[in-house]
Structure formats: C-alpha cells, structure tokens
A and B are shown apart, each in its own frame.
Chain A
Amino acid sequence: MTSLLRRMSPRASLAALLLLLGLAAPLGASPQPNDDALTAQRRIEAAYLYKFGAYITWPDNTFAASDSPIVIGVAGADALADDLTALVAGRKAGDRPVVVKKLQPGDSLAGIDIVFVGAKADALIGDARSLPVLVVVAGEDGLQRGAMVSFVLVDDRVRFDVALDPVQRSGLKLSSQLLSVAHSVSGAQP
C-alpha cells in the first residue's frame, strides 16, 4: 500500500488540493462562480462519483466476480468524464477497480453500475429505472427529474441530496454513513 501511495502521490496531492480549494472557496472573496470555480466544482463532483462506490451495495448477481470493476457511465458531461477517468486511474473503490465509460444517448445501460446523467441526456434516467444502477445528476431539480442522487451547491460547497424511493426500486442499498453526510434525504426508509 505504501508503494501504491507513493506511486499515486501526485494525484493524491491534486485531489487534496482540490479539497482544499473546495474548502477555501467559501472563504474566498468572490461570491460569483467563475470558470475556475466551475472547474473545481466539476472535479469535486467527479471525486464524489468515484467515492460513492464504497457506500453502495449492489444486488448479488450484479458483478461477475468479487474483483470485477465498478463501471461508472458518464453521459452528456465529457469534461467530467475526463476528470473522472484521470482520477480513478489505478484507484479502487473498496476492493473493486473503477472504470469510466462515456455514454451517448441511446446507449444501453447494461454493465453500468453508476451513471451520471449530464445535460440533455435525461432519457437515460428513464432507461435506468428498475435497473440496479445508481443514477446521479447535478442541479437543484435533479430528484424531480427522477435521479437518485443530485449534486447541489450549498454555501458554495458541493453537497448532494438523496431520494430513497428510486433507490429502493432499483434494488440498491446506500450506506447509512453516506446518508448521514447527505445534504437532504427524501423518501421513506423501508
């Protein structure tokens, strides 16, 4: 693990820097988002996507093997996909490696475990219904659009809301730890 850390050090530093910036943002003088802020937000969202993997339990037959990769599909957000791809290279979420896949409208969600649905790709949300796929979007209205997890900006910080009903329908289980750090959780727990 030591050798792994050492090997990963530059990227870890980058992630840390991003986190620091994320923290530093509320302390920053400028209240208006700018390009840098947007980029930072996108990278944090990418990091969150990657980290969700550790807090999700998929149905038993989802993966072929215990070390089968978690596949994160990204639709309509190529920049984020690129950021995520750079972030997960060589990393694991729990015991599984993480693979990023760019999706086009109409692509099948087969083999996808987590999907980020960006702008103009809402059709995928419907496709994912009843599939064991965590559907993540960005925006205040994300949950209304049918997503399970939606990134929101609270006090200039990236947070997320969770809708438990679609999660429950999909057969996924989210860790209570994840829920405890969510900005808001809607839907009744069974």
Chain B
Amino acid sequence: MSGLRLRSVRTKLFVGVLVTSLAAILITGASLLAYDLHNVRRALTDDLGTQAELIGRACTPALQFDDSKAADDNLALLKVRPNIDAAAVYNGKGAMFGHYVRDGAAPETYPMLGGGEDEVRFSGQDIFVNRRIIDDSHEIVGFIYMHAHYNVFDRARSYLGIVLAVGSMALLVALLLSLWLQLTVTRPILNITGLAQQVVERGDYSPRAEKITDDEIGYLVDAFNRMLSEIGGRTEALEASNRELGHEIAERKGAELALRHSEKRYRALVSTLSTVVWAANQRWEFEGEQASWEAYTGQSRNEYKGSGWRRAFHPEDQETLDRFTESASKGQQTYEVELRLWQAASASYRIVGLRPVAVYDGAGEFREWIGTVTDIDDRRRAEDEVRRLNVELEGRVRDRTAKLEEANSELESFSYSVSHDLRAPLRAIDGYSQALILDFGSQVNEKMRNYLDRIQAGTKRMGQLIEDLLSLSRISRHQLERRPVDLSAMAEQVLQELQQREPERKVQVSVWDGIMVDADPRLLKVALENLLGNAWKFTSKTPDARIEVGMVEEGVRHTIFVRDNGAGFDMAYADKLFGAFQRLHGVNEFPGTGVGLATVQRVMFRHGGRIWCQAKPDKGATFFFTLQEDNPAPVVASSSSAQHPLRLD
C-alpha cells in the first residue's frame, strides 16, 4: 500500500512533468503551425498578387496590340514557379487571350471573367487569383487568372517532424528535470513516508526524519518530527493511563471479591443468627423463602406465605400486631414492638422484638419491608429477676439502715451520758484540788503546788474535751433546719469575737460582702467558729497575718473558702486532717483538741456538702466547702460577689 503510494508520488511527478512538457510542446507546435500556415497563405497571396500584376503588366502591350503569342510567351515564364498550376489572360471583353498550364498539371477549367473586382479565393489546397490588368492610362485592358497550390500537409508533416524532434528533446530534458526534482523534492517526502511506515510497523516514535532542505518540505519534516514527539508523548500518557486503569480494575475486582465474601459471610451470619431476618412486600406479605423465620417458628413456606406469618404470633397479640403494621404502613413512627411468637424448638410462645425497616429503591420509591425478629424472652426474664432482686435488696438496706440508726442513736446517747456523767467526777477533782490550795495554802510547798496546778490543767483540758465531744454529738443529733443565712455577717461576727478575746492581735481580715447560703444557722456557726478559730490560731506566729472569706462560683456550684497565710501544713497529711483527735501540730505549738475539723466535716456532711483543702507548710491554708450536693439548686448569692474574682495565692 505504502509502496504503491511511493510509486504513485514518483509517477505523478514524472507524469506531471511529462504531460506539462507535452502539452506545452503541442500547444506551441500547433500555434506555430497555425501561425505559419496563416503566414504562408498570406505570403502566397501577396506573391501570387505580385506575380499576377507582373504578368498582367507584361501582357499589357500584347493585349493592346493584340499579340496573343506575346501573351503566351509571358505566361510561359511561370514555369519557374512550380506551385502555379495554370494561368490565363483575358482581353477587356473577357475573352480568353492567352493561357498557361504547368507541365504535368491536370487540365484546367478556366473561369469566365470580366467586370468583377480583384479577388483571391482559397479552396482546399488551391488558391485562385483574379485580377484586372490596368495600363498606364488607368484603363482596364484585360484580366488575368491564376491557379496555384500550396502543400499544407507537406508543411504540416514537416512541422510535425520538427515538433516531434523538439518534443523528444524536451521530454528528455523533462525526464532529467523530474529526476532532479525527485532528488530534491521527492527524496525528503520518501524519507518521511519510510519513517511513517517504520513508526506504524514498530510503534516506535523515537526516530526523527532528517531535514535536508529549508523549504516547505523542510517545514513539513519539522512538523512531522514535532508530531512524532507529540504522538510519542501522548502514547506514553495513554499507556500510563492504561496501567492505572489496570490497577483500578484489579482493585475493583478485589473489592468485588471482598464484597462477595462479605455477602457470603452475611448470608452465613443470617443463617446462623438467632435473630430472625424477614422480608415482606408493601402489603406486609411474605413472598420469598424466609429460612430463619421457618427455623424459628416451624411454619412451612405454605403456612407463612402471604399473611400466614401473622398466625405464628400469640392470639392475644394479634390486635397489637395489626395496629403496629397499620401505623408502620402509614409512615408513623414505629420502631419496635414486643410480641409473643411461637418458637418451635421450645414449643412455647416467647417474647420477641419485631423491628421493620422500609426499603426504598434508587429512585426513592418504597419497595418492601425487611426486618428482624429478636428473641428477647431471656432478657425480659433476666430483667424481671433483676428488678425483683433490686426490690428485695432495697428492703434489706432499709432494714439494716434502721437497725444501724438505732445502734448509732444508742451509741450517741451512750457517749452523751458518759460525757455528761464524766463531768461530775471531773468537777470533784477540780473542786477538791482548788480546795487544797485554798484551805492549806500555807502548808503547800512549791512542789505540791506544781502538782496541783498540773491536776487542774488536766481537768480543764478534760473538761474541754468532754465539751467538744458533746458538741460533736449534738451536731450529729441535731435536727437540720435550713434557712437563708448571711454567711458574710456571720463570719464577721465570729472574727469580732476572736478579736475581742485577743485584742492585742493584729490580723488583716477580709470578708466578701453578701455571701448568702441556705443552711442551718447553728451548725454553720459551729463550722465557721472552728474554721476561723483555726485560721486565727495558726496565724498567731505570722507577722502581717491575713484571713479571707470568699466564694467561688463554678456554674451552679458555689464553693465558699476560708484562706489564711498562717502555718499551713504538708498536703501529704491532708487525708488525716478531718479525723477526730488528729493533730498535725504539737499541743505546745498550737493548742487544740483535734476534734474541730471533724466537727466541721460533720456539719458539711449533714448539709450534703463536702470540705477539702489546699496548703503548704508556712504558706498558709485554704479550706473549701460546699453546703449542698454537687448538682442542686444554686446557692443564693448577691450581685456583689461577682465583683470579687477568686484570688488563689
């Protein structure tokens, strides 16, 4: 195909040159021939006219003096002109006067002449000339007739010969030219064609055509090369894209395989599931096979198909089922309904959860129902059991609590009575030891007085201890009565009492205004007396002592704090802080019974609140407490508290 095309281009070029040359030669030859024939004719015409004129002139005296022999002699001179076949001279009246016929010419038919104008007539290869003979006096003395021939075909033949000769030469030149053209024009094209063939056969876009010339073909070569690069690039891109596509297809196949596995797993799961999976059409009719339904209920396909599946439910639940399916069909919200379904295996009705889901196709058209039936019978039974156990447990807890409260109450009345009873002997020891000093003061030496003082101090401390224990006991027994209390005012009052007790102390006191709480005022007073008393006591050795009472609001929770810059303590012992009789400082260092913080904690517990602290040795301590459970209604607080943001040092 391509070889044919190659030959075709070459042949076309060759034929084109050939045809062009031939056409040029033929047209030129024909034109020249036509022009020449025309010229020959005209020359012949002129020549014959002159000839006739001359002969006519020569014959004038012959005519004038009636000498036909002289006329014949004159006409005979025409022998030297072989193309003149015949001639004749007529006198003025048109009568034949003399004539001439060339040797070997056909007998001539002479025309009748006279009176006409001069004329030249062509007929085929013959020329006929008629002319008047006019003398010097401008009189017509006679007429002359000439018949000549000219050989058109001879001339054309010779011309054809010339044209053929010239044509052959021209063709030769054209052939050479076409060879040269082929070298300069065709070769680059052939190169490109060969290259194109190579590219097509091998699919290799790397070779490039050689640019030989700088003309249009050179440009063609450049364009071809650029096109090759372009195609090469695109082919690579295409192949890369193909590879990617191959990967994608492989991935998709993998995904399909995974999907198939997943579906198989799903089917296996469904078949082994205790949960029944079912599908129904839009009218709640079973259509296909419902393997798990059949396995659970023991209904055959004929039994459950259509609406037969409904009969597997307990007769008393039929109405519930109807209502449920009806409302589901109406699109009302129906998540699940609990019904009793016949289980073949146990030959009993069991409680199940029926849960349908509407399935829509791609166009959003409702198609069918699928759903599950979950056996919740065991769960229901377990829940019932738990509920029963809970009720039982709660009763038992109530019993125990009652017993505990009874015991507690007995214990408290015991400790109260003990404390109370202990005070009588203590007063006796105190009283009699004082009586010893008063009555026998002179006999009591220094050593005895020292012992007696120690006895009095011991009884005093014991009395305080009993007092504290009684107080703690009272707090426990006290009936809680909540009411709004101005904690700020209460704290101010406690601090004033402390100041009056020790007027020489200089303590910088700062109590936020308007901290209102809902609490029992008596218990709150005990707690504040203990907390502020501690602060007062542990700042006694601190120069520039400060005590602050404030409140932090965190959402609904209001936390009240009491801060001092006193002795503080190590937080490692913080857990021991709120136990009774626990002391972190020596009695000599700071006096106290170790019951105070236990009492405070008891107050907070009674209110449902709690207490905690932050402290560092010699850097002071801060006690936080709440008077309510963590999520109750907020503590009443005035607007002024918001103006005091928490400052924790």
B-binding residues in A (CB < 8 A): 1, 4-5, 12, 15-17, 19-20, 22-23, 44, 48, 51, 54-55, 91-95, 157-160, 175, 177-178, 180-181
Contacts and interface: CB of A to CB of B under 8 A. Distances in A.
Contacts of B61: 55, 175, 177-178, 180-181
B92 A19 contact: yes
B139 interface: yes
Given A91-B137, A92-B137, A180 B95 contact: no
Interface string B111-141: 0000000000000000000000001111110
Contact of A93 (B93, B137, B140): B137
Contact of A157 (B60, B66, B93): B66
Given A16-B93, A19-B93, A180-B70, A51 B138 contact: no
Given A19-B93, A20-B95, A23-B91, A181 B62 contact: yes
A51 B92 CA distance: 15
B213 interface: no
17 contacts: A12-B92, A15-B92, A16-B91, A19-B91, A20-B93, A22-B66, A23-B66, A48-B65, A54-B137, A55-B61, A92-B137, A93-B137, A95-B136, A159-B65, A180-B61, A181-B62, A181-B70
B64 interface: yes
Contacts of A20: 91, 93, 95
Contacts of B70: 180-181
Nearest to B64: A51
Contacts of A5: 138-140
Interface of B: 58, 60-62, 64-67, 70, 91-93, 95, 135-140
Contacts of A1: 138
Interface of A (DSSP majority class) = helix
B135 A54 contact: yes
A4 B138 CA distance: 9
A91 B301 CA distance: 155
B98 to A, nearest CB: 12
A51 B66 contact: no
A94 B137 contact: yes
B96 to A, nearest CB: 10
A181 B67 contact: yes
Contact of A181 (B65, B93, B140): B65
Nearest to A177: B61
Contacts of B66: 19, 22-23, 44, 157-159
B310 to A, nearest CB: 143
Contact of A23 (B58, B95, B135): B95
Given A20-B91, A51-B65, A55-B61, 17 more contacts: A1-B138, A5-B139, A12-B139, A16-B91, A16-B92, A16-B93, A17-B93, A19-B92, A20-B95, A48-B65, A51-B64, A54-B137, A94-B137, A177-B60, A180-B61, A180-B67, A181-B61
B116 to A, nearest CB: 15
A53 to B, nearest CB: 9
A171 B140 CA distance: 31
Contacts of A160: 65
A16 B66 CA distance: 12
A27 to B, nearest CB: 11
A20 B94 CA distance: 10
B64 to A, nearest CB: 5
Contacts of B139: 5, 12
A55 B70 CA distance: 16
Nearest to B138: A1
A114 to B, nearest CB: 15
A23 B92 CA distance: 12
Nearest to B62: A181
Nearest to B69: A181
A22 B68 CA distance: 13
B472 to A, nearest CB: 183
B88 to A, nearest CB: 15
Nearest to A158: B66
A91 B67 CA distance: 23
Contacts of A159: 65-67
A51 B136 CA distance: 10
B92 to A, nearest CB: 5
A83 B545 CA distance: 197
Contacts of A54: 135-137
A98 to B, nearest CB: 10
Contacts of A44: 66
Contacts of B65: 48, 51, 159-160, 178, 181
The 8 A-B pairs at the shortest CB distance, nearest first, are namely: A181-B67, A181-B65, A177-B61, A181-B61, A1-B138, A16-B93, A16-B92, A181-B70
Nearest to B92: A16
A55 B62 CA distance: 13
A55 B136 CA distance: 10
Contacts of B137: 54, 91-94
Contacts of A178: 61, 65
Contacts of B93: 16-17, 19-20
Nearest to A4: B138
B64, B65, B93, B137 — most chain A CB neighbours (10 Å): B65
